Amino acid sequence: MEDLAARVAVITGGGSGIGRALVLACAGAGMHCVVADVDTEAASRVATEAIGTGVRALAVACDVADRSSVDALAAATLAEFGGAHLLVNNAGVLILGRVRDMIVEDWQWIFSVNVMGVAHGIHAFLPQLLAHAEAGEGAHVVNVASVAGFGGGGVYGASA
């Protein structure tokens, strides 16, 4: 996808940090943005920032660990923009501490967001992305990961 203007980017975890920076970079390139985050207020603030660059933006409350929430995100994107050209699976969580202090529920939460959140995103958005790709408009998926996946990092590293 060479021309980003008027294309649609969906960024999970878009309400802060790297996600916010990605939304603003996409908006700066002329992309319309869907800002997805569990923190609705943060997503709305970032969407407002994106709109300030002259593009359209939509804030959507989304918990990527919940498949139905990601399906609703995909439906909202389709309804508002006709589909996504770029999906950035950026949402991620971290619990600091020693592995020996982690309980099974910590592992489940981290993997439900950091691993299954990516699977939910790809599954929900693949039809839209393929439709745009087949129309010659281009489509991409970016999965944000961590260097902790190269070794160490405990539970978080295992999910990266």
DSSP class per residue in 115-160: THHHHHHHHHHHHHHHHHHHTTS--EEEE---GGGGS--HHHHHH-
Q: Indicate the pLDDT class of residue 1, thresholds 50, 70 and 90.
A: low
- pTM for the model stands at 0.94
Q: Domain spanning 8-145 has what CATH number?
A: 3.40.50.720
Q: What pLDDT score does 64 carry?
A: 98
pLDDT tens track for 20-52? 999 999 999 999 999 999 999 999 999 999 999
Please state, as a whole number, how many other Cβ atoms lie within 10 Å of the Cβ of residue 126. 15
Two tokens, residue 29: 């390139």
